[in-house]
Amino acid sequence: MSAEKITYIHNPEGDNAVGRQSEWAGRDVLISLAVGVVIFGLYLLLNGSVFSVPSIRQAVLKRQNARLMEKIEYIGQRTAIQSERLEELEMRDNKVYRPIFGMDELPPEVRSAGYGSESRYDVFQGFPNARLLTESARNQDVMEMRAYLQSLSYDDIEKVAMKIEDMTRFIPSLIPVCPGREITFTSPFGYRIHPIMGNVIFHSGTDIAGPRGTPVYAAADGVVSDVKSNYHGYGNVVDIDHGFGYATRYGHLNSANVEPGQKIHRGDQIGTIGSTGRATGPHLHYEVLYNTLQVNPWNYFDKTISPKEYMTLVTPADKLKD
Ligand SMILES: [Zn+2]
């Protein structure tokens, strides 16, 4: 028996080709299954837990979360330190700077008011650390508003400080009569026994006794607001409005040489000492008013000026320009 030579001819449409194709398809299925198993395993590792071991993704997120928490806590600590520093500035502002310039303190409710609605923090709801995030954001907002208010306060102080040089010219600090041997401070401000009535009454000014005709000078810059002549009371009276809440009154004048509406500089002569009105002798009744209330003129006087210096600061009536 002779061996039969078998020749395989490639025939894609033939049975043999189909057999080979089936063989290859089987291997593809196995590889696909293996890849599928690997992908599924990776999926489990990344998204869930296999035998309660945390996935890689979870571990990464956990570490990131821990770092973020540390950062938030650090910001919180820095905010607390900055808040303390701001508090010192606010305290100095209220207790030192503002009082120097006669400004009222800013009350706590003004300093902490109006940093916005709580609803702005709703955006943090649903976060794992919502409370901490809300608190941190709120503290930052409060700080921002307090710092802004503090800057406004400094702006106000700056404005007042710019005016302070002007302001001092309007504060009644010049004694209205030249200090010297000829004058005497006879009746101080406050309660006293009235020299004519004999009863205890409030004396709303300071009396300065001196020879009739002694010049009387304006205590500060201002505008003459009134010139009156009474038979009783303070007799011939000149009132000056200095602005910034200050006014002065000069009573019992022998004569007045100014008119209502006239602009006055500190040291301008406004009249002379007399005893018009209800007076026991020639003297000046001098009042200082602050925000319409009489205050003690003595506290405003510059008592360091010598008579010689004083005469360089004043302008006699005949030298006044219109
Ligand atoms: Zn008096």
> What is the reported pLDDT for 130?
85
> Rounded to an integer, what distance in angstroms lies between the CA atom of residue 302 and that of residue 305?
7
- 88-102, 141-155, 248-262: which has the minimum mean pLDDT? 88-102
Can you give the length of the chain in residues? 322
CA atoms within 13 A on the CB side of 80: 7
Residue 195 C-alpha to ligand 1 middle, in angstroms? Answer: 10
Residue 285 C-alpha to ligand 1 middle, in angstroms? Answer: 4
CATH of domain 184-319: 2.70.70.10
What global pTM score does this model have? 0.53
Residue 186 C-alpha to ligand 1 middle, in angstroms? Answer: 9
**CA distance readout (Å), 181 to 208, 306, 313:** 12, 12, 19
> Amino acid letter at 321?
K
Output phi, psi for 219, to 5 deg: -80, -20
CB–CB of 267/218 below 8 Å? yes
Residue 312 C-alpha to ligand 1 middle, in angstroms? Answer: 27
Digit-coded pLDDT (tens) for 95-144: 888 887 778 888 888 877 666 677 888 888 888 788 888 888 888 888 88
Residue 259 C-alpha to ligand 1 middle, in angstroms? Answer: 22
> Amino acid letter at 161?
A
> Rounded to an integer, what distance in angstroms lies between the CA atom of residue 86 and that of residue 146?
8
Most confident listed range (63-67, 132-136, 226-230): 226-230
The C-alpha angle with vertex 171 and arms to 188 and 236, in degrees rounded to 5, equals 55
Q: Where are the alpha helices (DSSP H) in 50-129?
A: 56-92, 98-100, 108-111
Residue 193 C-alpha to ligand 1 middle, in angstroms? Answer: 12
